[in-house]
Amino acid sequence: MTDRLPYLQKGLVAQLAQLTNGIAVVLEHRYYGASIPTKDFSTESLRFLTTEQGLADVAYFAQNIVYPGFEDQNLTSRHVPYIAYGGSYAGAMVAFLRVTYPDVFFGAIASSAVTEAIVDYWQYWEPIRRNAPQNCIHTVENLTGVLDNLAHNTSAVKDLETLFGLQDLSHVDDFANVLSYPLSSWQGRNWDPAVNDPTFFEYCVNITVADTLLYNDTSSSEDIEKAAELVALAGWDDPKVNRHLTTQLLNFAGYLNETVVWPCIGNGRSADDCFSSYNTTFYEQNDLTQNWRLWEYQVCTEWGFFQTGSGTPKSKPSLVSRLVTLDYTSLPCKYAFNITTPPEVDARINNKYGGFNISYPRLAFIGGTADPWREATPFANDAPHPHRPNTLDRPFAEIEGGVHHWDENGLFPNETTEFLPPKPVENIQAYEHEFVKAWLSTQKWAHLAREEQGFFFGLI
């Protein structure tokens, strides 16, 4: 739980607690952290790991908790207002809490809340396409196109894998998946320097260089000749275009080999051991150290969110190879849990809690226009009402350029600068302060503010 400590010290939840004389509480989800009710993480043991049960745990806590040091006070949800905050899956959870337990949770702030479960979540890549530097996106589309246009040619694919140092991979879809690793790092971008992942822009800087080879390991005349041949075979045979894309392909290969491939293979492990989704021995592990199984189980049984390239409409170039299919991305379900059919997302999540349409008084939705999870939130372009009214009672606001729950982080006063927090984040957090104060000004709870007894804010 120590990784959540900064949110209690300087994040949004800390800000709200200070603003209202409240208490901030971080709760673990069952099975995660130290809240483990079983002896292992076998499929049998994980049958109690459901969204519904997780919600019930939080409600029970709010209704029954006796806080150490405050045993003489009744601080349950019947006597003080509880406002839940969460981001991503936890954002969906707090939204569901407000609707499912409206008498327990006075309000909720759902940030980047993935309230719509989607099996084939190819849309994950679309906010990246719209918001990343377009020269980088155009390059990614072309590099992905090289692989997809060669996919029918086994010999050419093997030559392409060799350029990346991955010729020993047994499955071409594993190779296609590894090529998407740097693209996935977009989600790790954050305005807060303490948690920001710079990988995406480092990746873009490397692959967009079209006139200079950056890596000695991919600069030999043999590599250049082979790469140019593959690029031409894939359809880019105009001499100038071929020369530029060949250079970009070799720079991508050099970058990926240095940052992803060699750090694993260079330690003596095989390519399959490092990067294969067909490693059944790995998936058979189910002791309590295998905490990767937890969210994977929820994905396989309730949520989906398999990030494919094959789902991308044929009308647009894919950022991720179309070899990355639903069957491929769901292999962990098969090998880890013997689950061979997609989750019934409508029955388990969407119809039960509201999906895109979820709405309730004192339920706020905060999003980011550049969040790869945006298309699973009520802000999604495909949502029935992506531009619903934004009111103090039902706040609905996005951070321009924001990625994944960017409102959650905060800075100490001595850490702020002219540019940090960014103005869009600062404005959203000020708005969150405003509507929470408005919620708590209702007649039922106004006396607490006068008596300085405080309120409760949960971060899950």
Do the strands 396-399 and 304-306 form a parallel or antiparallel pair, or are they unpaired? Answer: unpaired
Which pTM was predicted? 0.95
Query: Is 211 a catalytic site residue?
Result: no
**Has residue 453 got a pLDDT over 90?**
no
User: What percent of the chain has a predicted confidence (pLDDT) above 70?
Assistant: 96
Q: Would you state the pLDDT for residue 1?
A: 55
Looking up tokens 């006597």 gives 79
Q: What is the pLDDT of residues 330-345, one digit of tens each?
A: 999 999 999 999 999 9
Q: Would you state the pLDDT for residue 289?
A: 96
Q: Would you state the pLDDT for residue 6?
A: 84
Which one of the listed residues 120, 173, 371, 407 is annotated catalytic? 371
**Has residue 2 got a pLDDT over 70?**
no
What sign does the dihedral 47-50-374-90 (CA atoms) show? Answer: negative
Two structure tokens written together for 49? 């790991």
In whole angstroms, give the CA distance from residue 314 to residue 336: 32
Show the CA angle centred on residue 94, arms to residues 65 and 73, nearest 5°: 20
**Has residue 457 got a pLDDT over 90?**
no
Phi, psi for residue 84 in degrees, rounded to 5:
-95, 140
Q: For the chain, what is the largest distance between any 2 Cα atoms, rounded to a whole number of angstroms?
A: 81
Neighbour count for residue 412 (Cβ, 10 Å): 10
In whole angstroms, give the CA distance from residue 436 to residue 220: 61
Q: Would you state the pLDDT for residue 286?
A: 98
Show the CA angle centred on residue 431, arms to residues 425 and 434, nearest 5°: 145
Q: Would you state the pLDDT for residue 107?
A: 97
Domains defined along the chain, listed by start: 2-116+358-459 (3.40.50.1820), 120-337 (no CATH)
**Has residue 352 got a pLDDT over 90?**
yes
Q: Would you state the pLDDT for residue 454?
A: 53
**In sequence order, which residues have a C-beta less than 8 Å from that of residue 323 and are 6 or more positions away?**
147, 148, 151, 172, 173, 176, 309, 310
Average pLDDT over residues 273-281: 96
Q: Would you state the pLDDT for residue 202?
A: 98
**Has residue 459 got a pLDDT over 60?**
no
- Rounded to whole angstroms, what are the CA distances from 383 to 76, 114, 380? 36, 12, 5
Task: Give all strands (DSSP E) within 212-310, no chain letters.
Answer: 304-306
**Has residue 456 got a pLDDT over 90?**
no
Looking up tokens 């991308």 gives 312
Which one of the listed residues 77, 88, 276, 330 is annotated catalytic? 88
Q: In which element (H, E) is residue 398 found?
A: strand 396-399
Q: Would you state the pLDDT for residue 433?
A: 97
Average pLDDT over residues 81-104: 97
**To the nearest 10°, the Cα dihedral for 46, 52, 55, 60?**
-90
Q: Mean pLDDT over all residues of the chain?
A: 95
**Has residue 256 got a pLDDT over 80?**
yes
Amino acid code (one letter) for 133:
P
Band of the pLDDT at 349, cuts 50, 70, 90? very high
Q: Would you state the pLDDT for residue 442?
A: 80
DSSP at 413: G
Q: Would you state the pLDDT for residue 21?
A: 87
371 and 359 Cβ atoms separated by less than 8 Å = no
Nearest to 261, CA basis, from 200, 182, 323: 182
Band of the pLDDT at 226, cuts 50, 70, 90? very high
In whole angstroms, give the CA distance from residue 148 to residue 140: 12
Per residue in 62-100, is it b (16+ CB within 10 Å) or e — as a string?
A: beeeeeeeeeeeebbbeebbbbbbbbbbbbbbbbbbbbb
**Has residue 446 got a pLDDT over 80?**
no
Q: Is residue 413 reached through a cis peptide bond, with omega within 30 degrees of 0 on the bond before it? A: no
Two structure tokens written together for 410? 């905060």
If one compares 110 and 452, the residue with the highest pLDDT of the two is: 110
Helices 154-163, 172-179: crossing angle, 10 deg rounding: 40
Looking up tokens 């949004």 gives 12
Query: Is 77 a catalytic site residue?
Result: no
Q: Would you state the pLDDT for residue 8?
A: 86
Phi, psi for residue 25 in degrees, rounded to 5:
-130, 135
Helix, strand, or coil here: 178? helix
